[in-house]
Structures are given as structure tokens and as C-alpha cells.
């Protein structure tokens, strides 16, 4: 028994961190957000690195690695708040891999893995139905916890653009999926559980970054003749951020490991990870804002990107309340 990334997994994470540190600074995030578009150059490089297909089976044109590896990438993309259509393509890949027919797999998975086509995903458990990563998407999945999901061409579905606070990815609203695309049998839902883990890993990265920003600021900023981090009202806030981030880290990587090694535990593990990551990432980003004072509230400050993405992620693929209800069911309350 060993709860630590393997050397290979750590290497993947470190390489991702280094790459994104040079290629996706918060200034770049701002440029993309201001332009209301993705960072297409960055996305191209990410596809060349093979990240979209990291957890797609080799037979389907991916790298055939596991959810733990995918989680490390998602965490780093969250840490960078990268404005790329990664999550939609990953959700599509996971859902089609879990429930798609041979023909559907052959049609979509290799192209999603290389980034040749982009995927959007519609969350039919939310109200209204929100689609993510709609911009430039060719394929859409509409997973559904109540049974049958759907997959089809984006051009066949009416998606109305949705202006959400998070400007680092594109969103849309879908009123109906009647008659859309082809059916996916209930097994596709395993892919949704995995997607919850991926999204939770992204929130972990967002929270980690917001915490580091708060800690750095608390060390530098002086008031009343000393760094504000010397005041317990501030330092205890930061300690509470670490508590939240580390609990999230444990639950996210556990869920990722369950997806690979113990799928029967995944429903509970994914619900716990999603509830925790949604709640914790919001509490950390909002607490980080408080540590920053007035500057943290400005449009000029980069914290806004983390805060808005965390708030949005927390409401996609299951709210904390919905996921906790699931946990209560699964433990038998």
C-alpha cells in the first residue's frame, strides 16, 4: 500500500507544470478571457503533447494511461486556469469509452485523442441544461444519470450561447435533446463518474493556486508595521485553506485510483470528491480574495479567473448538495 504518485506520474505532473508555467501565464489567461476565445496556440501544443487522449485506451488511439495520470493533468490545467477546450473533449472521451459502440468509439475517440475534433458536453442533471466547451466543438455528448445518454454532431443540436462569469471556457444552453444523435446505454455513466473526478482535479488545482497566491500576498503585504500573515485572523485563514486543499487532494486522487483499480467504489468516491472539491475550492478562492483585500476585488487582479472558474465548476456535473445526497444514499443513511 502506497498513497503517493509513482515516479512516472510525478514526472507527468512536473512536466505539465513546467510547460504551463512558460506557456500559460495568468496574463495569457487574461488575454484569452478578454477576447472571449480559447488560446488556440496553447491548445494546439497541448494536443501535440497528447493530453486529451491520455486516458483513452491505446486501441482507441489514446495513450492508454489511467485516471490518476489524467487527474494530474487536470490539476495542472486548473492550477494554470488554462483557457483551452480540454474538459469537454475529456468528458466526451470518457463517456464514449465507457458506453459507446465499436462504431461510435472508432468514429470519435481517435480524433478526440489527437484534438482533431473537439467535444462539448451537456449536463442534463443541471437546470437549465448547461453545455461546456461549446465553441468549435464537433461532437457533443449528453450523459444522463437516469439512463440513456446521447452522442452526436454538434451541428445537429441547438445550443444557445450562455454568458457565464467564467470567461476561460465557452458555455451554452440546451433546451432539448429529443431526437438528437445516437443513444448511449446506461454503462456510459461510468464515464460521467470519471468526468466528475477530472473536474474535481481541476478544482483542486484552482484551489492550490488561490491558496499559494494568498500565502505569498500575506508574506509580502504589510500593515500596522508587519506582514499581514503575522496576524492570526489571516494566518489561520491560510491554514484552513491548506486543510481544505489537502482533504480535497486525498479525496480526488483516491477517486482517480478507484476509477482505475476499484471501479465498484467509484460511485461513492466520485461523489465525495465532487462534493468536497466544489465546496473546498469555493471556500479557498473566496477566502483568498479576503486575504487580498481591495486589490483582490479588482478586475485587474488575476484571482478573478480562479474564483469564477471554481464557482462554475462547482455547479457542473453535480452540485455539492446533490453529491452529498448521493453520499448519504450510498452509505445507507
Angle of the 67-80 helix axis to the 86-99 helix axis, nearest 10: 160
Angle of the 7-23 helix axis to the 67-80 helix axis, nearest 10: 20
Half-sphere exposure of 322 (CA within 13 A, CB side): 14
Residue among 58 and 246 whose Cβ is closer to other proteins: 246
By CB under 8 A, residue 34 contacts other proteins: no
DSSP structure class, residue 82: -
User: Smallest distance from the beta carbon of 86 to other proteins, in angstroms?
Assistant: 22
Pick the piece of the chain touching other proteins (CB under 8 A) from 52-60, 197-205, 299-307, 318-326: 318-326
By CB under 8 A, residue 1 contacts other proteins: yes
Q: Which residues contact 253 (CB under 8 A, 6 or more apart)?
A: 3, 5, 68, 71
By CB under 8 A, residue 297 contacts other proteins: no
Q: Pick from 70, 73, 71: which is nearest to 82 by CA?
A: 73
Residue among 35 and 261 whose Cβ is closer to other proteins: 261
Cα 187 to chain centroid distance, Å, stands at 22
Residue among 140 and 207 whose Cβ is closer to other proteins: 207
Contact track, other proteins, 240-279, x by CB under 8 A: x-xx--xxx-xx-xx--x---xx---------x--xx---
Residue among 32 and 277 whose Cβ is closer to other proteins: 277
Helix, strand or coil for residue 120?
Answer: strand
110 vs 59: CA distance, rounded Å:
9
The contact set with other proteins (CB under 8 A) reads 1-6, 9, 68, 215, 218-219, 226-227, 229-230, 232, 235-236, 238-240, 242-243, 246-248, 250-251, 253-254, 257, 261-262, 272, 275-276, 321, 324-325, 327-328, 331-333
Amino acid at each position: 500500500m502506497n498513497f503517493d504518485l509513482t515516479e512516472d506520474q510525478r514526472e507527468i505532473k512536473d512536466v505539465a507544470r513546467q510547460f504551463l508555467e512558460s506557456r500559460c501565464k495568468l496574463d495569457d489567461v487574461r488575454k484569452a478571457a478578454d477576447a472571449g476565445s480559447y488560446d488556440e496556440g496553447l491548445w494546439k501544443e497541448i494536443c501535440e503533447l497528447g493530453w486529451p487522449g491520455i486516458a483513452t485506451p491505446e486501441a482507441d488511439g489514446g495513450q492508454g494511461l489511467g485516471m490518476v495520470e489524467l487527474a494530474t493533468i487536470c490539476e495542472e490545467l486548473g492550477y494554470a486556469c488554462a483557457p483551452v477546450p480540454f474538459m469537454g473533449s475529456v468528458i466526451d472521451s470518457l463517456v464514449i469509452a465507457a458506453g459507446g459502440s465499436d462504431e461510435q468509439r472508432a468514429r470519435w475517440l481517435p480524433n478526440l485523442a489527437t484534438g482533431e475534433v473537439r467535444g462539448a458536453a451537456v449536463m442534463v442533471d443541471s437546470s437549465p441544461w448547461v453545455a461546456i466547451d461549446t465553441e468549435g466543438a464537433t461532437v457533443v455528448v449528453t450523459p444522463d444519470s437516469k439512463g440513456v445518454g446521447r452522442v452526436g454532431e454538434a451541428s445537429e443540436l441547438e445550443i444557445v450561447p450562455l454568458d457565464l462569469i467564467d470567461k476561460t471556457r465557452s458555455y451554452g444552453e440546451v433546451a432539448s435533446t429529443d431526437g438528437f444523435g445516437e443513444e448511449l446505454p446506461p454503462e456510459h455513466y461510468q464515464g460521467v463518474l470519471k468526468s466528475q473526478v477530472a473536474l474535481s482535479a481541476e478544482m483542486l488545482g484552482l484551489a492550490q493556486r488561490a491558496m499559494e497566491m494568498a500565502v505569498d500576498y500575506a508574506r509580502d503585504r504589510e500593515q500596522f508595521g508587519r506582514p499581514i500573515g503575522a496576524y492570526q485572523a489571516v494566518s489561520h485563514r491560510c491554514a484552513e485553506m491548506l486543510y481544505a486543499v489537502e482533504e480535497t487532494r486525498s479525496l480526488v486522487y483516491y477517486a482517480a485510483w478507484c476509477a482505475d483499480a476499484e471501479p465498484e467504489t467509484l460511485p461513492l468516491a466520485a461523489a465525495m470528491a465532487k462534493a468536497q472539491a466544489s465546496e473546498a475550492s469555493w471556500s479557498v478562492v473566496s477566502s483568498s480574495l479576503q486575504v487580498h483585500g481591495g486589490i483582490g476585488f479588482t478586475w485587474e487582479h488575476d484571482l478573478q479567473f480562479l474564483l469564477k472558474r471554481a464557482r462554475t465548476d462547482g455547479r457542473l456535473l453535480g452540485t455539492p448538495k446533490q453529491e452529498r445526497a448521493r453520499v448519504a444514499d450510498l452509505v445507507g443513511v
